[in-house]
Amino acid sequence: MKETVVSGIRPTGNLHLGNYFGAVKSFLQMQNDYNCYFFIADWHSLTTRPKPENIVNSARTILAEYLACGLDPEKSTIYVQSDVKEVLELYLFLNMNAYLGELERCTTFKEKARKQPDNVNAGLLTYPTLMAADILLHRAVKVPVGKDQEQNMEMARKFARRFNTMYGVEFFPEPQNFSLSEKAVKIPGLDGSGKMGKSEGNCIYLMDDEAVIKKKVMKAVTDQGPQEPNSQRPEVIENLFTFLSIVSTPDTYQYFDEKWNDCSIRYGDLKKQLAADIAAFNAPIRERLAEYMANTELLDRIAREGAEKARESARKTIDEVRQIIGFRR
């Protein structure tokens, strides 16, 4: 029997190269080897007060991008969180046994509260319990998450242990952080600030066309160039070589590596090549994305069918949880 994997993404914007190489690329392999549930976490997005008219469209866009990247609804269960109402019931049960102090100590809560001081809502406080409900609902054993979610994963394990202990059962497994590769892929931003991210405004999106990509890449931060042969590359230049290693051919990488080492590198040439290679990578995804976005009927059908599969798993869990707690099934 295949192990169960669960992963969710908030529909707060389009997918970028960091999302693809940091997560989605691994999902493409996982869907062949595991029982995968990939969901679009639209309830989580309510903590930031999205406009009502954007909620459905944002979820639909992420779904289209997932499909354009190669996620297959025949191999994995892809669904929108709000279509699986059982999540809320488990969220309620977990909240009844979650304590104010432990939730207030969560780093993610402190950071979000600092970023949005005028909207420190209960949803921010109980984010770890909703995340735990998403995971435990399918009794997942593996969850691919980044380092920023490690504390919330520990909370999910804590809630699973607490439920099992309180009711004298071994019902929920303790989900573990999971990565297919030993070293997580970190895609840098083009502004030299580190990780690529939507909030940093330094992204290349999968939907970006050749002209947009070239404009962004040509603005990438560089330095004055190597001053000595075979010198160590500073971070802003290493970032560009990281991109080359991911989207370009080995020969291309080697060419610019040699140019760096003999101090003859021209950043303009490197950027033009990098922009062309990123555009070539994006092109087939963009084409498939345009096809999916033009067929909302297909997207909605895939979402419905995914929700039905997810609810089948969710109902089994909730029925047993209700019985364990003492409610009628």
Q: Is 75 a catalytic residue?
A: no
Contact 81, 42 (CB under 8 A): yes
Q: Is 216 a catalytic residue?
A: no
The answer to whether 54 and 96 are in contact (CB under 8 A) is no
Cα separation, 63 vs 69, whole angstroms? 10
DSSP β-bridge partners for residue 143: 177
Among residues 112, 214, 216, 271, which one is catalytic?
112
Q: Select which of 25, 75, 186, 195 is catalytic.
A: 195
**Complete DSSP assignment for 188-233:** BPTTSSSB--TTTT---BTT--HHHHHHHHHT----S--SSTTPPP
Comparing CA positions, the residue from 279, 278, 288, 280 lying closest to residue 72 is 288
Find where tokens 């779904």 sit.
Answer: 63
How does strand 35-40 pair with strand 142-143? unpaired
| Residue closest to 60 by CA, chosen among 23, 1, 14, 118 | 14
Is residue 195 among the annotated active site residues?
yes
Which residue out of 75, 158, 186, 198 is catalytically annotated?
A: 198
Nearby residues of 124 by Cβ (< 8 Å), 6 or more positions away: 47, 109, 112, 113, 116
Active site residues: 112, 195, 198
